[in-house]
């Protein structure tokens, strides 16, 4: 089958979070099963762009409201990612350093989607599936079905994967002229609560909708940032397919970001050496359990609770643990985390920003990874942590619930708590300290979690059988 994935992120080209990891891995695994999966994404000004070679595949142009844009599709020449990678270059709009966060993001991603559909309409054959990811590609099924210039694409089956329903790409109706001329009787397929809602539109128009874990699929009917009813109406075409992890990239035995490398065979020493590296970088104590947080410092991740949790844990548990945080996001959380460095020196440290290498060093060197997320559609961090022998402390929600079993349960290996509150989180930290004291049990759990199979094979196959059902 030929599959075209459309996404705003794809690792290692450009990544802001787990969407990038998934779109950088899933097509590679689909190709290993003998399919032809391709990725198209915006051309940002990234290191990957400058360090690799590209050929021009197509040039075109379109109107977006009153503005006229030329676009160019370029293709990476070596297929080094394990799939064909196409980038959409739109001068002045997409070619920026960051993926998101600009005032004109609506214009940027609408233009990206028009360019993709326009390019697709010029292919001399049609792919078997167009697989769109999140709201930044959410208008594509509508455009393929209801924009006059592209209706000849209407028969191509479309699949939407929702990585996060919190973000929906809302646009006011006065931007409806951004879209290529469409059948206005169909306006309801763009609308949700009097706005153009690209994610809702994709849920309505795509032939199938998937989300990245079973539990999140159920939760969305009760908590989906205003789309709850839509998921209830459309439950018949929604499926949960748990993400995998790319175990070629996330493997402590060969990971080039960490030193020394280690595996189950030398795990005790490997983790100790990795912890030493981290502790010396951040002035922490290697003899204390090290609890880390890696991620976007946003409300969904309950990052706002971290400062209080860390203060409470350090003071009420007599500083028996160390904390290290890596992340960026909400400026007030960043500020609070920075300001704690001085008073909690020796117990806590943080690095504000995005740092791929440090994240790998932290998965390797930590004892525990904390994820108190209020919403977590799948979560990859907990799976990466386990692959590096780091025990996850996670809230019992979404994909965290589907991938972590509490150590109090039969064959359990992690720590689960129910509420995103300072009390519940600090109690879980207390449980982590208790587990840390039981050296033998700790080693056994570390060895077990490193061997859990969270690889992509199963999930890549699940997507393929979903596509087959649409042919």
Nearer to ligand GLC, 17 or 141 (CB): 17
* Binding site partner of 212, from ligand GLC, ligand ADP, none, Cβ cut-off 5-8 A by kind: ligand GLC
Q: Is position 179 an interface residue for ligand GLC (rule: CB under 6 A)? A: no
**68-71 long-range Cβ contacts below 8 angstroms, 24+ apart:** 69/93, 69/111, 69/115, 71/111, 71/115, 71/118, 71/119
Q: Are 313 and 429 in contact (CB under 8 A)?
A: yes
Least Cβ distance, residue 50 to ligand GLC (angstroms): 26
- Number of H helices and E strands in the chain, helices first, is 16, 17
Least Cβ distance, residue 96 to ligand GLC (angstroms): 20
Least Cβ distance, residue 354 to ligand ADP (angstroms): 4
Q: Is position 19 an interface residue for ligand GLC (rule: CB under 6 A)? A: yes
Least Cβ distance, residue 377 to ligand GLC (angstroms): 4
Q: Is position 252 an interface residue for ligand GLC (rule: CB under 6 A)? A: no
Tally the residues of the chain. Answer: 471
Least Cβ distance, residue 460 to ligand GLC (angstroms): 14
Question: Residue 131 in 3-state DSSP?
Answer: strand
Q: Are 190 and 140 in contact (CB under 8 A)?
A: no
Phi and psi at residue 393, to the nearest 5°: -115, 105
Among 11, 18, 362, 388, binds ligand GLC (CB under 6 A): 18
Nearer to ligand ADP, 158 or 350 (CB): 350
Least Cβ distance, residue 5 to ligand ADP (angstroms): 16
Nearest in space to 201 (alpha carbons), one of 178, 234, 232: 234
Nearer to ligand GLC, 201 or 215 (CB): 215
Residue of closest CB approach to ligand GLC: 18
Tokens of 170: 């809302």
Q: Is position 425 an interface residue for ligand GLC (rule: CB under 6 A)? A: no
Q: Is 136 left (phi over 0), alpha (psi -120 to 50) or beta?
A: alpha
Distance from C-alpha of 231 to C-alpha of 236, rounded to nearest angstrom = 9
Among 7, 164, 197, 350, binds ligand GLC (CB under 6 A): 164
Least Cβ distance, residue 438 to ligand ADP (angstroms): 28
Nearer to ligand GLC, 156 or 375 (CB): 375
Least Cβ distance, residue 169 to ligand ADP (angstroms): 16
* Binding site partner of 326, from ligand ADP, ligand GLC, none, Cβ cut-off 5-8 A by kind: ligand ADP
* Residue ranges binding ligand ADP (CB under 6 A): 17-19, 21, 294-296, 326-328, 354-356, 359, 378-381
* Binding site partner of 307, from ligand GLC, ligand ADP, none, Cβ cut-off 5-8 A by kind: none
Residues ≥6 apart with Cβ < 8 Å to 66: 177
* Binding site partner of 169, from ligand GLC, ligand ADP, none, Cβ cut-off 5-8 A by kind: none
**70-75 long-range Cβ contacts below 8 angstroms, 24+ apart:** 71/111, 71/115, 71/118, 71/119, 73/40, 73/115, 73/119, 74/43
Phi and psi at residue 425, to the nearest 5°: -70, -45
For residue 306, count CB atoms less than 10 angstroms from its CB and return exposed for 0-12, middle for 13-18, buried for 19 or more: buried
Least Cβ distance, residue 353 to ligand ADP (angstroms): 6
Beta strand segments in 189-248, E: 191-192, 195-196, 208-211, 238-240
Q: Is position 376 an interface residue for ligand GLC (rule: CB under 6 A)? A: yes
* Binding site partner of 381, from ligand GLC, ligand ADP, none, Cβ cut-off 5-8 A by kind: ligand ADP
Q: Is position 314 an interface residue for ligand GLC (rule: CB under 6 A)? A: no
* Binding site partner of 359, from ligand GLC, ligand ADP, none, Cβ cut-off 5-8 A by kind: ligand ADP
| β-bridge mates for residue 69, sequence order | 62
Nearer to ligand GLC, 19 or 41 (CB): 19
Q: Is position 377 an interface residue for ligand GLC (rule: CB under 6 A)? A: yes
Q: Is position 14 an interface residue for ligand GLC (rule: CB under 6 A)? A: no
* Binding site partner of 223, from ligand GLC, ligand ADP, none, Cβ cut-off 5-8 A by kind: none
Rg (C-alpha) for the chain, rounded Å, is 23
Query: How far does CA 410 lie from the centroid of its chain?
Result: 30
Nearer to ligand ADP, 15 or 271 (CB): 15
Among 94, 129, 340, 380, binds ligand GLC (CB under 6 A): 380
Q: Is position 212 an interface residue for ligand GLC (rule: CB under 6 A)? A: yes
DSSP 8-state assignment for residue 26: H
Residues ≥6 apart with Cβ < 8 Å to 425: 302, 305, 309, 370, 372, 393, 417
SS3 content of the chain, % helix, strand, coil (to 5): 40, 20, 35
Nearer to ligand GLC, 139 or 380 (CB): 380
Among 87, 305, 378, 391, binds ligand GLC (CB under 6 A): 378
Q: Which residues bind ligand GLC (CB under 6 A)?
A: 17-19, 22, 163-164, 212, 243, 376-380, 399
């Amino acid at each position: 089958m030929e599959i075209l994935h459309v996404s705003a992120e794809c690792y290692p080209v450009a990544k802001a979070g787990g969407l990038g990891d998934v779109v950088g891995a899933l097509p590679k695994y689909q190709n290993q099963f003998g399919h032809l999966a391709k990725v198209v994404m915006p051309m940002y000004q990234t290191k990957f762009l400058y360090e690799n070679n590209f050929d021009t595949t197509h040039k075109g142009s379109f109107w977006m409201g009153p503005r006229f844009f030329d676009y160019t599709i370029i293709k990476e020449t070596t297929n080094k990612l394990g799939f064909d990678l196409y980038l959409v270059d739109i001068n002045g709009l997409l070619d920026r350093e960051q993926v998101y966060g600009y005032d004109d993001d609506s214009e940027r991603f609408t233009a990206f989607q028009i360019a993709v559909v326009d390019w697709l309409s010029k292919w001399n054959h049609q792919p078997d599936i167009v697989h769109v990811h999140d709201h930044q590609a959410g208008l594509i099924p509508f455009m393929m079905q209801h924009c006059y210039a592209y209706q000849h694409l209407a028969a191509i089956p479309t699949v939407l994967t929702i990585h996060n329903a919190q973000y929906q790409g809302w646009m006011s109706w006065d931007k409806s002229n951004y879209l290529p001329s469409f059948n206005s009787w169909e306006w309801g397929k763009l609308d949700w609560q009097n706005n153009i809602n690209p994610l809702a539109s994709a849920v309505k128009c795509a032939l199938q909708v998937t989300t990245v874990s079973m539990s999140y699929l159920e939760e969305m009917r009760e908590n989906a940032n205003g789309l709850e009813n839509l998921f209830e109406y459309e439950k018949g075409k929604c499926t949960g397919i748990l993400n995998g992890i790319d175990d070629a990239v996330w493997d402590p035995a060969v990971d080039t970001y960490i030193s020394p490398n280690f595996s189950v065979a030398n795990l005790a020493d490997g983790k100790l050496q990795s912890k030493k590296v981290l502790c010396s970088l951040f002035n922490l104590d290697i003899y204390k359990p090290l609890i880390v947080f890696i991620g976007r410092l946003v409300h969904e991740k309950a990052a706002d609770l971290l400062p209080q949790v860390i203060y409470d844990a350090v003071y009420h548990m007599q500083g028996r643990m160390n904390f290290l945080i890596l992340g960026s996001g909400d400026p007030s959380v960043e500020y609070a985390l920075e300001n704690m460095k001085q008073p909690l020196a020796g117990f806590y440290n943080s690095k504000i920003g995005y740092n791929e290498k440090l994240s790998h060093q932290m998965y390797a060197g930590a004892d525990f990874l904390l994820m108190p997320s209020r919403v977590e559609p799948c979560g990859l961090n907990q799976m990466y942590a386990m692959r590096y022998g780091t025990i996850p402390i996670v809230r019992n929600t979404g994909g965290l619930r589907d991938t972590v079993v509490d150590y109090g349960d039969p064959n359990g290996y992690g720590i689960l708590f129910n509420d995103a509150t300072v009390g519940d989180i600090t109690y879980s930290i207390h449980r982590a300290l208790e587990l840390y004291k039981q050296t033998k049990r700790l080693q056994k759990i570390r060895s077990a979690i490193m061997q859990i199979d969270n690889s992509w094979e199963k999930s890549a196959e699940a997507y393929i059988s979903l596509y087959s059902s649409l042919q």
